[in-house]
Amino acid sequence: MTKTGFIGAGNLYLDPPSLQVIQHSFLTMRESWNNPNRNAPFWRLYWDSTPGAEILFRDQTIELGPDKVVLIAPYISYASRATGEFTQFYMHFEWDVQLSPAEPLVFPAAPMRKMLNDVGEWYGRDNELFVVRMYSILLHYLAEMLNRNQPCPMRRTDPRIARAIELMDEDLHMNNEELARKVNLSCDNFQRLFRAGLGTTPCQYRLSRRMELAQHLLQDPERSLNEIAVETGFSNRYQFSKAFKKFFRIAPGASRKIRSFENGDGASESK
């Protein structure tokens, strides 16, 4: 209401933020959290109801737990490590914003503690209320991020590199020469801009995306290693298995069994 008692026409509507949760879960795990290089084109929110998980970013170690919520923007390279069994609530989401933090951000869980503590009771139930609760948590911490008094490094991704990442995620077989050509850059300039913007090389980013996708696909006992190899951009299961073991220091079949035990399903044989 204005001082004249009338509402201005320009005050009637507010467009909602361009947010979309694309993956979420509330689960207990241990070894399956271990990953030496996570890097993705979406945002992440983590809250752990119990200790036992860490995020390693450069020279920092962030211990996850019930007292904090962590936000990680797209294209940030970090490692994740389990020190014990823990229970985690997470969301992966897309948010159309011009600038994003260049490092993980940690917030106190206290303002949303009641809802977070009760997540085991409401997660996945009463669909409409469930969705409202999920987005209320997300919006609270995004508002906290935008309202931070303590400045944090921000970055803007070159639109050509952002487009190259979209193409890479659509086709994990695409090499640097093809990507550079599609975004009208020389291969040298493409690799230079990519590293300057993301702090990693195109090859390292592609490998981290392949490996994280492989971890996800291994949860499906119906998918064979041959199928997963093709879906993650490898020529065959042997090339895939070698790369997976080098990256995670565990064979894909053994990783599948660990995830199956953590999910309470018992061991399942790899195909």
Query: Residue 267: is its pLDDT beyond 90?
Result: no
Share of the chain above pLDDT 90, in %: 64
Domain boundary among 99, 117, 146: 146
How many structural domains are present in the chain?
Answer: 2
Do 139 and 172 sit in the same domain of this protein?
no
Tokens linked to 267: 């061991």
- Looking at the domain assignment, is residue 222 inside a domain? yes
- Looking at the domain assignment, is residue 135 inside a domain? yes
Do 126 and 34 sit in the same domain of this protein?
yes
Q: In whole angstroms, give the CA distance from residue 111 to residue 134.
A: 15
Do 116 and 164 sit in the same domain of this protein?
no
Do 129 and 39 sit in the same domain of this protein?
yes
Do 191 and 90 sit in the same domain of this protein?
no
Query: Residue 262: is its pLDDT beyond 80?
Result: no
Query: What CATH number does residue 227 fall under?
Result: 1.10.10.60
Name which residue leads in pLDDT, 199 or 109. Answer: 109
- Looking at the domain assignment, is residue 153 inside a domain? no
- Looking at the domain assignment, is residue 268 inside a domain? no
The whole-chain average pLDDT of the chain stands at 88
- Looking at the domain assignment, is residue 114 inside a domain? yes
| Cβ atoms of 19 and 141 closer than 8 Å | no
Rounded to 5 degrees, what are φ and ψ at 154? -120, 160
Do 30 and 105 sit in the same domain of this protein?
yes
Do 203 and 227 sit in the same domain of this protein?
yes
Q: Check residue 16 and report its DSSP letter.
A: P
pLDDT at 132: 95
Do 187 and 221 sit in the same domain of this protein?
yes
Do 81 and 119 sit in the same domain of this protein?
yes
Query: What CATH number does residue 77 fall under?
Result: 2.60.120.280
pLDDT at 96: 84
pLDDT at 229: 94
pLDDT at 14: 84
Q: In whole angstroms, give the CA distance from residue 244 to residue 211.
A: 7
Query: Residue 2: is its pLDDT beyond 80?
Result: no
pLDDT at 137: 98
Do 190 and 228 sit in the same domain of this protein?
yes
Do 141 and 197 sit in the same domain of this protein?
no
Q: Given the structure tokens 């389990």, which residue do they identify?
A: 82
Task: Convert the pLDDT of each residue in 122-131 to its tens digit.
Answer: 999 888 999 9
**pLDDT-wise least confident of 108-112, 239-243, 252-256:** 252-256
**pLDDT-wise least confident of 25-34, 142-151, 203-212, 217-226:** 142-151
Query: Residue 181: is its pLDDT beyond 50?
Result: yes
pLDDT at 7: 56
Query: What is this structure's pTM?
Result: 0.80
pLDDT at 17: 87
pLDDT at 155: 74
> DSSP assignment of the chain, as one string?
--TTS---GGGS--PPP-EEEEEEEEEEESGGG-EEEE--SSEEEEEESSS-EEEEETTEEEE--TTEEEEE-TT--EEEEESS-EEEEEEEEEE--S-EESS-EEEESGGGHHHHHTHHHHTT-SHHHHHHHHHHHHHHHHHHHHT-SS---EE---HHHHHHHHHHHH-TT--HHHHHHHTT--HHHHHHHHHHHHSS-HHHHHHHHHHHHHHHHTT-TTS-HHHHHHHTT-SSHHHHHHHHHHHHSS-HHHHHHHHHHHTTS------
Do 165 and 142 sit in the same domain of this protein?
no
Task: Convert the pLDDT of each residue in 21-71 to its tens digit.
Answer: 999 999 999 888 999 999 988 999 999 999 999 999 999 999 999 999 999
Domain that holds residue 239: 159-262
